[in-house]
Structures are given as C-alpha cells and as structure tokens.
C-alpha cells in the first residue's frame, strides 16, 4: 500500500499557493512541491489532492492511502458533497481520479502528523513567487 500525505497552502487568502505531496511506499520516498499560482487555501488543498492522484496514476499505483490535515477535503470526499459550489468541479475531478484505483482511502490527520507535506507545500509557495520575480 502506497501512503500519500498531501497539503495545500496559500500565502494570503487568496495568494501565492502550493501543493505539497509526500509519497511513501515500495521502499522509496517521493517529495513534490508544486506551485499552484494564486488561489485560496481551500482551493490549494483540493489541487494538492488532485495533483497527488494524478502522480499516483502516472506511476501505476493501484492501492493508495491518502492523508490530509484538511477536514474540508476529507469530509467532501467521504460524503461526495461540498457546500460551497465553487469547489464542486474540484471535488468531481478528485472523485473521478480516485475511482481509477483498485483501493483508495483518504483519512484526516492532525497537522502535527502532516509536517512533511506542509513543508513541501510551503516550499512550493516560494517556488511560485520565484517564477514571478
């Protein structure tokens, strides 16, 4: 089973944003810091999930267990519903991608257990800012 820790972060709301993705499995570790441009923090959380799903699909992983410290994202995936309709297309994309796995789990964890993904997301914000300066 591949373990995937994800985090989205924004410097401002909205502001420069990034996705942090930390993948453990098959004896290897992968770290991804992906600049996302300017968006709100919740949008960055969804984009982190989508980017991580895309990476796992590209790698051919079939069984994945995701961890996020975003209650908004974990509850939306669990219920397949989001109150704020602005996030509906992001949720739909995430659900579509998650259906491509033999097994997909997403679990909420406290931020203290998600430090690796958080650091990667913060690095992605800085990479983002570097592109515009």
- Domain extents in the chain: 2-125
| Mean pLDDT, range 79-89, rounded to an integer | 95
The predicted structure's pLDDT at residue 127:
93
pLDDT grade for 27, boundaries at 50, 70 and 90: confident
pTM: 0.94
The predicted structure's pLDDT at residue 133:
34
Strand partners, 20: 7, 33
The predicted structure's pLDDT at residue 132:
44
Q: What distance in Å separates the CA atoms of residue 45 and residue 28, rounded to the nearest whole number?
A: 24
Which residue in the block uniquely carries the two structure tokens 């964890």? Answer: 109
Q: What distance in Å separates the CA atoms of residue 26 and residue 104, rounded to the nearest whole number?
A: 17
Q: Which one, of 105, 104, 90, 106, lies nearest residue 41 by Cα?
A: 90
Count of CB atoms within 10 A of residue 109's CB?
Answer: 15
Q: Considering the domain 2-125, what is its CATH architecture?
A: 2-Layer Sandwich (3.30)
The answer to whether residue 123 scores a pLDDT higher than 80 is: yes
pLDDT grade for 32, boundaries at 50, 70 and 90: very high
Alpha helices in the chain, H assignment, sequence order: 41-59, 71-79, 88-98, 115-132
Say which residue, 14 or 132, is predicted with more confidence: 14
Q: What distance in Å separates the CA atoms of residue 6 and residue 114, rounded to the nearest whole number?
A: 8
The predicted structure's pLDDT at residue 129:
58
């Amino acid at each position: 089973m591949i373990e995937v820790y994800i985090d989205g972060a924004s410097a401002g709301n909205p502001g420069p944003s990034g996705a942090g993705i930390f993948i453990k499995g098959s004896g290897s570790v992968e770290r991804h810091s992906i600049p996302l441009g300017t968006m709100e923090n919740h949008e960055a959380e969804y984009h982190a999930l989508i980017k991580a799903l895309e990476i796992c699909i590209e790698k051919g992983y079939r069984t994945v267990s995701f961890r996020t410290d975003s209650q908004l994202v974990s509850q939306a995936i669990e219920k397949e519903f989001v109150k704020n309709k602005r996030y509906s297309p992001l949720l739909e994309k995430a659900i579509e991608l998650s259906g491509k796995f033999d097994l997909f789990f997403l679990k909420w964890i406290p931020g203290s257990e998600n430090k690796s993904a958080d650091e990667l997301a913060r690095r992605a914000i800085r990479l983002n800012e570097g592109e515009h300066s």
